[in-house]
Amino acid sequence: MDYLAGLNEPQQQAVLHIEGPLMIIAGAGSGKTRVLTFRTAHLIEKGVDPFQILLLTFTNKAAGEMRQRIEKAVGKDAKNLWMGTFHSVFAKILRFEGKHLGYTPDFSIYDTDDSKSLLKSIIKERGLDDKIYKPNVVFNRISGAKNRLVGPDEYLNNPVIVADDAAAKLPEIGRLYKLYTTRCFQANAMDFDDLLFNTNVLFRDHLEVLDKYQRKFKHIMVDEFQDTNVSQYLITKKLSAKSNNLCVVGDDAQSIYAFRGASIDNILNLEKDYPDLTTVKLEQNYRSTNTIVQAANTVIAKNKSQLKKRVFTENEEGSLIELIKAVSDNEEGRLIATHIFESKMAKGLRNTDFAILYRTNAQSRSFEESLRKLNIKYRIIGGLSFYHRREIKDLLSYFRFVVNQNDEEAFKRIINLPKRGIGDTTVAKITITAAEQKIPVWEVVANIRNYQVGRFSDALEGFSDLIKSFKIMLENPKKDAYEVASHIAKSSGLLKELHDDKTVEGMSRYENVQELLNSIKQFVDNPETEDKTLSSFLQTVSLLTTADDDDPEGDNDRVTMMTIHGAKGLEFNHVYIVGLEEDLFPSQMMLQSRADLEEERRLFYVAITRAEKRLVMSYAESRYQYGRLKPCEPSRFLDEIDPMFLEFARNIRKAVEPIERPAGFVRNITSELSSSNRATPAASLGNGYRGSTSPSANVAPRPSAVSSPASTHVPSADFAPSNTANLKEGDKVEHQKFGFGNVKKMDTNGTDRKATIIFEKGVGEKTLLLSFARFYGVSHVQFLLIGWL
């Protein structure tokens, strides 16, 4: 047990504890991941079969990283651990066991958009006004109920809830809940909450199944326990009832997901459910300077619901926290970007040492612009994820419908795409008929002549023939997911439609679709993929978390930007917490809806404790919103860390002047952006709120459902995108993954265009099929700044 040497006493205690329930209260930066890793390794060393260990993490990425670390300690055995998010692990189990509840293994997973869209249809069908019954509100209400394990019937029979809805003048919600549930079931679909809810139902009603998994999982560990909801907690409680080996790790001070049903009580009350609970507190922070630790402690000191603990550090005092006051959000962006630039130069830091954390995704705009101007590379985590882009959802919907013909939401999306002359009226008729007769939509579509659905049967028959042909291909065991997927993309006409769209947007859409196909190829080629069906790909994809949206292979030296929620579990040398303004952070909404500042404080606590060495905060005195400049007050949080604040307020930075460019800094003149695939940020970004506009295509990370190096495999593509049409020998190019290079040779083979490129960095010579390659730009098109000489 050589690894025990590096651990402090409570850490060792946690690692060595094997039998019986254990709660590890792990303060920020206290080495929680190490403890979990070593504890797992220790279990395996003591003879526990990895198949019997279930480790539930908050993101799939966290699971992957931890698996690697465990593998380092114990070797290949780590492969057999059950690890993942609650949603992904139990979705997997439901694929096997869903039959007990009437689902097939191919059930669809509805994302939030699908759920809301379905709710909207139901609301309209019931003749209710969707301005009063806002799908959003109804959905949240239903989601809340599910997370507390209140099913539709219990909902309708619960006088308190009913009275509540009546008081809110929304008495129909219970009915809607019931209908929604029925429709999802008919569609052979589960939403995110259902994955947990149904797991609970499964374990409640099918004791033989519960017993099977109780025997299977002898040791259960839950990371980020403070962010589990009742539904999740009950699953772990049931599963561990036989073995009594439940180990939870969490920090009540970092509970920031109450809005989605997480209950801090899980952690506060665990002792009641487990009288023989052993509690270990990890209170020493190894991450941050003392200044940062103390500031963080001050922020949550006034919170009422928390466990007693004292986070301390033996690290150096560190530099004072800095506060930057800007006139506007744009200036804020400039000041922060310049600050980063200066620190980088002064201390020889890399981009990855920096993170900018904000409360809402929409705030990223000003920082993007400013960083770009200083040629600092960045990446945005979160925001509009790749899989929520329209074109991606469209194609995925095709896949979903071919796999599961009951999937009503997928059906609605693709029935008239590309345009077949089937309008909303017809679609509504079909879905209503299906719902009334309690049959799947597909029944109606496939036998359209038997149903009175108007005169457009021809178009509908064309559609159903198309789906039938896809289905036949899907069921052919010789065809892998990639072949089926690319066939669907082509034959449906989706690819063609996007290819014909010559706008910048259209071309980027086309590339995204190619990118999706590419990732399916990688999924299929990946030797670690057990189940290579399209259905399995869909399941994987639906449960990706935002943090998984990362590109481990690419040029990774980038400043990270994300919401504070997204930053949980991460650490950075220098952290900027921006937009510290009243109503923004703490959020107006949060205070209105829950009238409680505590979670916002914890959020601030999380943000502060991400920093290792240096912490900078900023606020703007005015901010663009709906195109208008609005005055802002500094956040009350600045007062909450009062003693610190007074001290560092004296150190408020001078406004930073634009830096002078050192000699040798090359600026390459830009021209003609038109044929580039750059998302022309300057043009599309007004001064105001960016909303859900895609975050600058050129810097946003690529999707990596399944990541692997850019494919050298060359599938046939029918269309070559025109943005690389002018590429010729001798051109200098920048590729998203491989960096700069020179085009050595161009090959045209039918419609396929290949470029052989010699890259400057390491990778050497590569031949890339242009439709699958992504370039920032082509030399005669533009580069802003090439770099330092």
Partner DNA sequence: TTTGCGCGGGTTTTT
Partner DNA sequence: CCCGCGCAAA
Which residue pairs, CB below 8 angstroms and at least 24 apart, start in 455-463? 456/421, 456/422, 456/426, 459/420, 459/421, 459/422, 460/422, 460/426, 462/420, 463/415, 463/420, 463/422
Query: Can residue 444 be called a binding residue for DNA (CB under 7 A)?
Result: no
Q: Could you tell me if 705 and 544 are in contact, meaning their C-beta atoms sit under 8 angstroms apart? A: yes
CB 411 → DNA: shortest distance, Å?
Answer: 15
Cα–Cα distance measured from residue 533 to residue 517, given in angstroms and rounded to the nearest whole number: 14
Query: Can residue 545 be called a binding residue for DNA (CB under 7 A)?
Result: yes
At 117 the three-state DSSP class reads helix
* Interacting residues of 257 by C-beta distance below 8 A, sequence separation 6+: 227, 565
N-term to C-term CA, the chain: 49
* Chosen residue from 421, 552, 643, 730 binding DNA by CB under 7 A: 421
Cα–Cα distance measured from residue 765 to residue 780, given in angstroms and rounded to the nearest whole number: 21
Q: Smaller CB distance to DNA: residue 65 or 130?
A: 130
Q: Could you tell me if 252 and 27 are in contact, meaning their C-beta atoms sit under 8 angstroms apart? A: no
Stretch that binds DNA, among 33-41, 417-425, 487-495, 657-665 (CB under 7 A): 417-425
Query: Can residue 79 be called a binding residue for DNA (CB under 7 A)?
Result: no
Q: Smaller CB distance to DNA: residue 629 or 763?
A: 629
Stretch that binds DNA, among 154-162, 394-402, 684-692, 727-735 (CB under 7 A): 684-692
* Chosen residue from 18, 69, 178, 259 binding DNA by CB under 7 A: 259
Q: Smaller CB distance to DNA: residue 419 or 661?
A: 419
Question: If we measure between CA atoms, which residue out of 547, 519, 485 comes closest to residue 708?
Answer: 519
Query: Can residue 422 be called a binding residue for DNA (CB under 7 A)?
Result: yes
Residue 755 tokens, joined: 């470029």
Residue 442 tokens, joined: 């597909």
Q: Which residues are catalytic?
A: 32-33, 223-224, 254, 610
Stretch that binds DNA, among 36-44, 82-90, 336-344, 713-721 (CB under 7 A): 82-90
Q: Beta strands 785-788 and 665-667: pairing type?
A: antiparallel
Stretch that binds DNA, among 277-285, 514-522, 582-590, 754-762 (CB under 7 A): 582-590
CB 196 → DNA: shortest distance, Å?
Answer: 8
Question: If we measure between CA atoms, which residue out of 364, 384, 342 comes closest to residue 113?
Answer: 384
Query: Can residue 566 be called a binding residue for DNA (CB under 7 A)?
Result: yes
Q: Smaller CB distance to DNA: residue 210 or 564?
A: 564
Binding mask 587-616 for DNA (x = CB under 7 A): x-xx--x-----------------------
Q: Beta strands 22-26 and 278-282: pairing type?
A: parallel
Q: Is 28 left (phi over 0), alpha (psi -120 to 50) or beta?
A: beta
Stretch that binds DNA, among 393-401, 418-426, 509-517, 773-781 (CB under 7 A): 418-426
Q: Can you say how many angstroms the Cα of residue 540 is from the centroid of all Cα atoms in its chain?
A: 13
Binding mask 274-313 for DNA (x = CB under 7 A): ----------------------------------------
* Chosen residue from 182, 279, 360, 491 binding DNA by CB under 7 A: 360
Stretch that binds DNA, among 179-187, 243-251, 620-628, 742-750 (CB under 7 A): 620-628
CB 561 → DNA: shortest distance, Å?
Answer: 11
Query: Can residue 631 be called a binding residue for DNA (CB under 7 A)?
Result: no
* Interacting residues of 37 by C-beta distance below 8 A, sequence separation 6+: 66, 69, 70, 73
Query: Can residue 505 be called a binding residue for DNA (CB under 7 A)?
Result: no
Q: Binders of DNA: how many residues, by CB under 7 A?
A: 52
CB 257 → DNA: shortest distance, Å?
Answer: 7
Q: Can you say how many angstroms the Cα of residue 630 is from the centroid of all Cα atoms in its chain?
A: 31
Residues 185-224 touching DNA, rule: CB under 7 A, are 192-193
At 611 the three-state DSSP class reads strand
Q: Could you tell me if 711 and 772 are in contact, meaning their C-beta atoms sit under 8 angstroms apart? A: yes
Q: Can you say how many angstroms the Cα of residue 366 is from the centroid of all Cα atoms in its chain?
A: 22
Q: Residue 466 carries which DSSP code?
A: H
Q: Could you tell me if 637 and 585 are in contact, meaning their C-beta atoms sit under 8 angstroms apart? A: yes
Residue carrying the six token digits 């209950």: 263
Residues 691-720 touching DNA, rule: CB under 7 A, are 691-693
Query: Can residue 626 be called a binding residue for DNA (CB under 7 A)?
Result: yes
Q: Could you tell me if 774 and 513 are in contact, meaning their C-beta atoms sit under 8 angstroms apart? A: no
* Chosen residue from 65, 130, 515, 551 binding DNA by CB under 7 A: 130
Q: Is the dihedral of CA 512, 518, 524, 526 positive or negative?
A: negative
At 541 the three-state DSSP class reads helix
Residues 223-242 touching DNA, rule: CB under 7 A, are none
CB 128 → DNA: shortest distance, Å?
Answer: 11
* Residues comprising the chain, all counted: 789
Query: Can residue 260 be called a binding residue for DNA (CB under 7 A)?
Result: yes
Query: Can residue 387 be called a binding residue for DNA (CB under 7 A)?
Result: no
| Residues binding DNA (CB under 7 A) | 59, 85-88, 111-112, 130, 136, 192-193, 256-257, 259-260, 359-362, 382, 416, 419-426, 456, 543, 545-547, 562-563, 565-566, 587, 589-590, 593, 625-627, 686-689, 691-693
